[in-house]
Each structure stands twice: as structure tokens, then as C-alpha cells.
Amino acid sequence: TAQDSEKLTSSVGMVSGDWLQLSNHLSNNTLPQISSLGDQYKPPQDGKFDVILMAETTYTTLAARQTAFLILHHLKLPLSRSLEHKNIDKGDDSGGVAFVASKRYYFGVGGGVDVFREECQALKLVVDDDTHGDDENKRTSWWKLQV
């Protein structure tokens, strides 16, 4: 329906650029107007999201680290890990989820799947990867991550 469409477009935002700068803006609630499907997208006050979709963000070691950092700091926590909800019924305790698409290896710049996996493990992110391509030629990976 038109009402459902309006609700969706006001809750979806698309951004690009420096991930650490974006994280800083989200943490301080100072995000400038961003591209969105709706007229005026307003990110959550706490800077935490239910879903984060990313692609081609792990092309260098630094970019892989910054991608993992952004996910860790801006994905909604499961209630069981959120301090303010210690004594309530957990129900659906899944928290937010991030999906990241990445090449297996970025030639000449050093990033890719293995580097990203290491960065995620260092930050204790829960990683469920699904690499596409045959065993000899794995080109693209989709990652599902949770805090």
C-alpha cells in the first residue's frame, strides 16, 4: 500500500564515504542530511540499526577494519548484551544483523575476505559467511554478521 511504502522509504537511508567519520556523526547524532529513498531520512537517535547492508567495503586492511568497527558500534545489540535490559524477558534476542558483500581478494591493495574475517574475529563479531563460486574460483562472499 502507499502507506507501507511511505513508512519504508522514511526508514531506509543510503550513505557512502569514510566509515569512521560516519561512525562519529552517528555517535554524536550530528549526521548531515543523507541520500535516502524518502524525502527526509532520520537515523535512530542512538545510532544503532536493525539492518546494515554494505558492499565493496573491505578492499584494504584499513577499510576492512573500519567496516568491522562500524558494524560493531552501530548494529543493535541483542537484549542479553544490552546493559539497560538485564532484567526483562528476552523474547526475540537476535539484535541487529549486517550483510556485507566482498571480493575474495582485492589485487594490489591487500583487502578481501580473509582480512575482513580476521578483523571481525578480533572484535568478537559473530560471522556467518557464504562464499559463492566453485572451490577453485571463489570470487564473491556474502557475510552475515551479528554483535
Look at residue 74 in the predicted model and tell me its pLDDT. 92
Radius of gyration of the chain (CA): 17
Of 16-20, 21-25, 140-144, which one has max mean pLDDT?
Answer: 21-25
Q: 3-state class of 12 per DSSP?
A: coil
pLDDT of residue 63: 93
Q: Express each pLDDT in 58-95 by its tens digit.
A: 899 999 999 999 999 999 987 655 555 444 444 555 68
Average pLDDT of the residues in 123-147: 67
pLDDT for 64: 92
Distance of CA 76 to the CA centre of its chain: 10
In contact, 75 and 147? CB cutoff 8 Å: yes
7 or 122, greater pLDDT:
122
What 3 state SS string does 105-147 have? ECCCCECEHHHHHHHHHHCCCEEEEEEECCCCCCCEEEEEEEC
* pLDDT class of 138 with cuts at 50, 70, 90: low
Helix (H, G, I), strand (E, B) or coil at 46: coil
Model pLDDT for residues 29-38, shown as the tens digit of each residue: 887 766 555 5
More confident residue, 4 or 73: 73
